[in-house]
Amino acid sequence: MAGSRRAPRNDRGGRSTASSAAENFERYVSRGSNRAFVVVVVFLALAALFFVRLVYLQVIMAPQYSAQAQESRTIGFIVEPRRGTIYDRNGHILAISVDATTVYANPSEIKEPGATSRAIAEVLGGTASDYLDALSQGDSATFTFIKRKADADLAEQLREQELPGIYFIEDTRREYPYGQTGGQVVGACSVAVDEENNREYYDGICGLELYYNTILSGTPGYYEAEVGADGTPIPGGVHESKHAIEGQDIVVSIDIEFQAEVEQALKEGVARVGVNKGSAVVMDADTGEIFAAASSPFFNPADRSKVEEGSMQLTAMTNLFEPGSIFKTVSATAIMEEGTMTPDTEVVVPEYLEADGYIVSDAHDHEQVTWTLRTIMNVSSNVGISLSVEKYLGFQKFYDAILRYRLNELCGVDYPGEQIGYLLDFDYWSRVQAYNVTFGQGISLTPMQILNFYAALVADGVQPTPHFLLRKPQTGEVPEYEHHRIIDNTEAIAPVTSMLQTVVTDGTGTDAAIEGFDVAGKTSTAEIFEEGGGYRDDAVNLGFAGFIANSNSRFVCFVGANEVPADRKVGSIFHDIMSAAISRYNIVSTGTTE
């Protein structure tokens, strides 16, 4: 019937089906509301965590990850500057950095490390095992050094084999063309390691390489090379980020050809007296330029497979010694400056002197005699020079003269390791101490210092600063060196020189004589002080310091032999060295003075 509706069905309790469904839904929602809330909270927490992580990765860590990514595709290495060249005074190369090649590898590209290492060893030397570890680092390694500063020609031979994963960088290597000759003057470099920057570089360790290391070394640069995903360098991907500044060249005063003659004369001379330790220096007294300097045993910077102890230094510059009788020239000069004696002034010289419980005697026994100052110098009398200083000068003035002659201070030579000697303050001098100093005992200095005193006798009382550096060619810089007037009364120089001449003609220095020339000099047989006190009784140090008087030569020369087991002479070494100088530098006599 139209418009009629079926009555709703009732459940068993009499309620309609529609109202029952509504109630069921309400009950369901009521029971599940807590569960839904937890789900929503968990979802929101996870979303927040992901959001924070995303911000951390994309914002906070982005620069670091970017840098790591850049680093993973970039290899970097320090570019060493070319070290400056050292030239002798005539332009001969004494030390030079020559072209070399550093060989490196990308281990990730090397599929046969054994075969590759054998191929490298055949060219660069060594054994395959020397290179195998560096080549066997697997896909994780993209850069490792194989050999730094390799010979450029050998590296080129290796390059021609086109070994996968082997690459090359231009580099330099230090060489010493004259080897042992001048080795102690020039010095040497070692390869220093900067592990933080994966860098090896040359660093001066002795000689002029050390003293002028800052000038010679320059400033390093830096290169970066980009690589692809497989570690292969990208063509054109090597770029320079910092220029290397090359080191400066230097020109030094030694004459390498004359140096060779000096070294030969020294070697033969110390052998004649039965030792292998000695030294020799030849210097221009006017300028302070050192033309040759050597110590035995010698040092070869080009071959350091065997280096004898102490051979890396010029001992004449670095080692102290008690000068002995060559110091009597200092005493005689101080007396002559005072004007209280002449070479012919007579002195009564007893057999010995007694002072403070000690005995001062001469090397050779004699009875009491009367000797002139000239004879005292000729025979090298300790007693005679002690009494001459005491009577005709006074010990206080003698001490003051030593200071005025700059014998208790550094002479300033541009060589590493110069030492200042020992001189007890005058307030603490005993009488025997004063006697001893007059003949060079109880005082210490370097051979260079005493030679510099002799230079003032040649240069009219003015003492130069001994030096090696002449100029820096790139900048045109010519260093200036101080000169010091140390002998005020220049009239004292002629009589002192005259006495030194007769030491050679009539006294202890006859083996230094050179025919046709007036050699002036003084011998020395010096005792060797022991650390525990006293002096050695089994050896002495021998020396001779002098020059060619009355000539156009301005050279002064020191020669010495160390720890000689007997009383011998080294004047013959001076003879040989200065004879070579006469020939090489056209030294001529200008006449004999009375």
Question: What is the predicted pLDDT for the residue at 15?
Answer: 47
Closest CA to 208 of 255, 261, 252: 252
CATH architecture of 82-252: Alpha-Beta Complex (3.90)
In the block, which residue shows the tokens 């290391």?
A: 213
Locate all alpha helices (DSSP H) within 244-370, ordered by sequence. Answer: 256-272, 315-318, 328-338
Closest CA to 82 of 189, 236, 154, 206: 189
For 384-397, what is the mean pLDDT? Answer: 98
* Distance, CA of 347 to CA of 332 (rounded, Å): 13
**What band does 9 get if pLDDT is binned at 50, 70 and 90?**
very low
Residue 573's Cβ-count burial label (10 Å; 0-12, 13-18, 19+) is buried
49 C-beta neighbours (distance < 10 Å), count: 10
Residue 376's Cβ-count burial label (10 Å; 0-12, 13-18, 19+) is buried
**Residue ranges matching CATH 3.90.1310.10 in the chain:** 82-252
* Distance, CA of 174 to CA of 213 (rounded, Å): 13
Token pair recorded at residue 476: 């045109």
| DSSP run (H or E) holding 290 | strand 290-296
Question: What is the predicted pLDDT for the residue at 64?
Answer: 57
* Distance, CA of 501 to CA of 592 (rounded, Å): 10
| CA torsion through residues 225, 230, 234, 235, sign | positive
* Distance, CA of 536 to CA of 568 (rounded, Å): 16
Alpha carbon 346 to its chain's center: 51
For 7-13, what is the mean pLDDT? Answer: 47
Question: What is the predicted pLDDT for the residue at 133?
Answer: 87
User: Which bin fits 458, alpha (ψ -120 to 50), beta or left (φ > 0)?
Assistant: alpha
For 194-207, what is the mean pLDDT? Answer: 83
pLDDT > 70? residue 192: yes
**Residue ranges matching CATH 3.40.710.10 in the chain:** 256-300+323-585
Question: What is the predicted pLDDT for the residue at 551?
Answer: 97
Question: What is the predicted pLDDT for the residue at 211?
Answer: 98
Question: What is the predicted pLDDT for the residue at 228?
Answer: 60
Question: What is the predicted pLDDT for the residue at 13?
Answer: 45
CATH architecture of 256-300+323-585: 3-Layer(aba) Sandwich (3.40)
**Phi, psi values for residue 442, rounded to 5°:** 80, 10
